[in-house]
Structure 1
Amino acid sequence: MTDYSVDLVPDLAPSSQYKFATRVLPLLLMALLLLVIPLLEPSRTSLSLLNAVGINIVFALSYNMLLGQAGMLSFGHAVYFGFGGYAAMHAMNWIETASYDGGVWAAFPVFALPLVGFAGGAAAGAVIGWPSCRRAGVPFAMISLGLAELIAAAGLMFVGLFGGEEGITGDRMNGVEAFGLSLGPIGEVYWFIAFWAFAGTALMYAFTRTPLGKLAQAVRDNPERVQFVGYNPNKVRYLVFIAAGGFAGLAGGMSAVNYEIFTPESLSVIPSGLVLLMAYIGGARYFAGPILGAIMLTYMQSNFSDYSEAWLLYLGLLFIGMIMFAPRGLAGLLLSAVSGIQHSLTVKSLLRWGAYCTAGLLVVVGGVTLIELAVRRSNGFGEVFEPFGLHLSPEQVLPWMYGGVLLAAGVGLLTALHKVGEGESK
């Protein structure tokens, strides 16, 4: 008797076209973009910004291995970035010494120093993660915070290892040249950053496809079930912790070569908080989310601070807004917009999207106006806020009214749209 039941089961596996479009094509587009950027002849300032973006992309993706993939909230991820950077910086100085006196390091190219950073970050993760990963949730977060403060303080005490407040400096133009790059001009440093940013991104994406990466997602969602099927959630967290520490160290090694200096500030809570913002604002549940967050926050930190003294306030408000209204981050917003356009492209939906954009614009313009007026008023220097050629003095009542009316109109429109949406869903 022939059994045809197998033929009735649908094939749920993704097609080869879907795999290529979602797994291979984004990496190819990233590589193409990295190759095209130098052809546009960017300025030295732009190259410096791009190098910082590349470092932060790897750093943010490494953090998201903990937060987004394994559900581990860490307040001390900069520790592994710092250990990787210090390991690379010491190796850079050993290469310089060996170039005069000879030795093993004379044959080691500076181009490969991120591998030393990876080893340093992974080693720190293996040591620190052994006791840390025995706990999860809030206890793990508190342990990471305490360790970050402890190691940051140690960075100022152990001068021989961390260089004290002045840190450790080096010269990247030593040793064997790889791919014909001396790493002197900033244009050559760009190729160094681009290579390791792409390599780190590709390897971390490959990690998400491994059995360990899938187990990490299972531990994040339901650790009890993972334990029930025979796996130890603590061991899974520990292995992911080591991998995340290694890639953070890779970013630290990239930073050491790019800036040729490393200070204990890189071990502190401040960069740990910044990378948390990158991952969450970008979208911790999506692999590309931290990339978007790293690009946005690096730009805000490097350029937006030149336009406003209150850029940190804007960053805080952006973070709060994401938590309250867009917990899936920038990546989630983009995917929702694309999905909405594909499945419900009607006049009504377009009008709703336009209303939401208008309300958001009113909130942003009104809020920025009030904040900038308040900053200039508190400084007491008689400065005037001049957006788009307008003359808005904080000493006059009318500009404050403009900002208040725009903000109130935006909030009111958002509230009305939300109520309409709730009524239609019922």
Structure 2
Amino acid sequence: MSTPATTPLTAGTRRLIPLNHALPWIIAAVCLFILPYVFDSRSALTIMNQMAITIVFALSYNMLLGQGGMLSFGHAVYMGLGGFFCMHLLNWVEAGLWLPLPLLPVFGGLFGLFFAFLIGSFSTRRAGTVFAMISLGVGELVAACSVIIVIFFGGEEGISGDRTMGPEVLGWDFGPQEQVYYLTALWLLIAALGMFLYSRTPIGRVANAVRDNEERAEFLGYSQRHVRWMSFMASGFFAGIAGALFAINFEILTEENLNLTTSGSILLVTFLGGVGFFVGPIIGAIVFTLLQTVLSLYTEIWALYLGILFVATVMFFPGGLAGLLAMHVLPWKLGKIGHLVVPYAKMLIPALAFVLSAAAVLEILFHKRHAGLGDHEMNLYGITFDSHGAMPLITVLAIAAVSLFAIVKLAPGLKAAWDDATHMGGHHG
């Protein structure tokens, strides 16, 4: 019997589907490959390495929070433990152990998985507040142990190693920063792809069901505890990989790598990018790393700006930065994205003026409070002035007030344009 005429089209479609799915990963790989040619300074490579590590760490945390609905305050434990174990492996390599450096993240991931298995065996019995409090207690416990168990954690000074002592791989000894970058980028792609594929597996789908409705998942025959436990272990594995990459890049780990501050930072990164989206933690990690590394070069109160950004995101854009971008998919599909260009352009100038003037107020107040005795001169936005005088503060306050007034006046027009761009009007015959 002859095959239907639609068979070639169907076969062609089946060939295109994997290509369409692989295209973003191919583009990401190409971008990661060419970035060192665009930003070739040592500091830029260091920032990109730190960004890649944070992305892996944030994606692993999103497996808990975004996919499994488990709010953890101690996720840095698994990254830190994986990193400390890899640092010991580096020292054993120096003592004669044969272990190529590119394989080190595997052992970091397995060590993180081992502790996630142990801790998850009791912490994942309950979700919600109980799980969050257990994770907080475990985080504080391990942070305290890092100072007490000196033989493993190295005490207050931490533990260091040398990544160049292992066997060369394809002629690379991983001394130059560029070689470390490509190793980190390779593991970023492997880890990100692994976490993406895990989210598409049956257990990943069931984790979403448990997150949304525990009782219904139990009624359908799935053990919510086992589902959370498996997601917890997978998350610990990838967090351990992030810890190994940290050990490779910075060659030192301290108590700071597994304390509550680091756990809180990755929670902030994930929320900032968008918990409900796979690309959310990636966006959050990029923004956070840029603010932490670049903005900190220009101001001492960069953490305050980051906190303000986080609060504003949670209050006005609960979906995070990725959610903010996703909101524009509908206007794009409706062909009305152009309706927003002019309202956005009008809002951009007063919004930028308000942000810069509000930041100037904070900078002036900080300089007045913390500057040395007799140090009244301040340079801000290329302008030098007396920070202790009344006029500079009055001026920036006035600019902030005027720009805020303009924002309030322009807001109804922007809302009307948004309603028009997202309105799916039908045609009547």
TM-score by length of 1: 0.89
Partner-residue secondary structure (3-state), 1:215: helix
Q: Deviations over 1:30-66 (max 9, x none)?
A: 1001111233360111111111111111111111111
- Of residues 98, 101, 104 in structure 2, which corresponds to 1:110? 101
Partner-residue secondary structure (3-state), 1:135: coil
Residue of structure 1 in register with 2:382 after alignment: 389
Partner-residue secondary structure (3-state), 1:179: coil
2:166/2:173 contact within 8 Å kept: no
Q: Deviations over 1:320-367 (max 9, x none)?
A: 010111111111222324543553537753332223333421321121
The 2-side partners of 1:254 and 1:75 are apart by 22
1:133/1:237 contact within 8 Å kept: yes
Residue of structure 2 in register with 1:355 after alignment: 346
Q: 1:182 Cα deviation (Å)?
A: 0.6
Q: Which amino acid aligns with 2:104?
A: L
Q: Which amino acid aligns with 1:371?
A: L
Residue of structure 2 in register with 1:329 after alignment: 320
Residue of structure 1 in register with 2:33 after alignment: 35
Evaluate the alpha carbon distance shift between residue 222 and residue 392 of structure 1 in structure 2; reply closer, same or farther with a 3 A threshold: farther
1:54/1:194 contact within 8 Å kept: yes
Q: 1:390 Cα deviation (Å)?
A: 2.2
Partner-residue secondary structure (3-state), 1:286: coil
Residue of structure 2 in register with 1:67 after alignment: 65
Q: Which amino acid aligns with 1:77?
A: H
TM-score by length of 2: 0.89
For structure 1, the residue ranges without an aligned partner over 5 or more in a row are: 1-10, 99-104
Q: Which amino acid aligns with 1:177?
A: E
- Of residues 233, 237, 241 in structure 2, which corresponds to 1:246? 237
Q: Which amino acid aligns with 1:395?
A: H
Residue of structure 1 in register with 2:169 after alignment: 178
Residue of structure 2 in register with 1:81 after alignment: 79
2:49/2:181 contact within 8 Å kept: yes
Evaluate the alpha carbon distance shift between residue 18 and residue 324 of structure 1 in structure 2; reply closer, same or farther with a 3 A threshold: farther
The 1-side partners of 2:185 and 2:338 are apart by 43
Q: 1:84 Cα deviation (Å)?
A: 0.4
Residue of structure 2 in register with 1:49 after alignment: 47
The 1-side partners of 2:89 and 2:66 are apart by 32
Q: Which region of structure 1 is more displaced relative to structure 2, 323-332 or 342-351?
A: 342-351
Q: Which amino acid aligns with 2:379?
A: E
2:73/2:139 contact within 8 Å kept: yes
Q: 1:136 Cα deviation (Å)?
A: 0.8
The 2-side partners of 1:329 and 1:364 are apart by 19
The 1-side partners of 2:138 and 2:284 are apart by 25
Q: Which region of structure 1 is more displaced relative to structure 2, 259-268 or 237-246?
A: 259-268
Residue of structure 2 in register with 1:94 after alignment: 92
Partner-residue secondary structure (3-state), 2:276: coil
Residue of structure 2 in register with 1:167 after alignment: 158
The 1-side partners of 2:326 and 2:385 are apart by 38
1:89/1:256 contact within 8 Å kept: yes
Residue of structure 2 in register with 1:102 after alignment: none
Q: 1:258 Cα deviation (Å)?
A: 1.1
Evaluate the alpha carbon distance shift between residue 134 and residue 417 of structure 1 in structure 2; reply closer, same or farther with a 3 A threshold: farther
Partner-residue secondary structure (3-state), 1:231: coil
Q: Deviations over 1:87-112 (max 9, x none)?
A: 111111111112xxxxxx32x21221
The 2-side partners of 1:422 and 1:299 are apart by 31
Q: 1:402 Cα deviation (Å)?
A: 2.6
Q: Tell me whether 1:270 sits opposite 2:261 in the alignment.
A: yes
1:110/1:174 contact within 8 Å kept: no
Q: 1:239 Cα deviation (Å)?
A: 0.4
The 1-side partners of 2:179 and 2:339 are apart by 51
Q: 1:413 Cα deviation (Å)?
A: 3.8
Q: Which amino acid aligns with 1:363?
A: F
Q: Tell me whether 1:373 sits opposite 2:373 in the alignment.
A: no
Evaluate the alpha carbon distance shift between residue 218 and residue 187 of structure 1 in structure 2; reply closer, same or farther with a 3 A threshold: same
2:343/2:413 contact within 8 Å kept: no
Percent identity of the aligned residues?
Answer: 39
Q: Which region of structure 1 is more displaced relative to structure 2, 114-123 or 394-403?
A: 394-403
Evaluate the alpha carbon distance shift between residue 346 and residue 47 of structure 1 in structure 2; reply closer, same or farther with a 3 A threshold: closer
Residue of structure 2 in register with 1:228 after alignment: 219
The 2-side partners of 1:198 and 1:63 are apart by 17
Q: Deviations over 1:174-215 (max 9, x none)?
A: 232223321111111111111111111111111111111111
Evaluate the alpha carbon distance shift between residue 358 and residue 228 of structure 1 in structure 2; reply closer, same or farther with a 3 A threshold: farther
Residue of structure 2 in register with 1:300 after alignment: 291
The 1-side partners of 2:154 and 2:163 are apart by 18
Q: Tell me whether 1:257 sits opposite 2:248 in the alignment.
A: yes
2:207/2:228 contact within 8 Å kept: yes
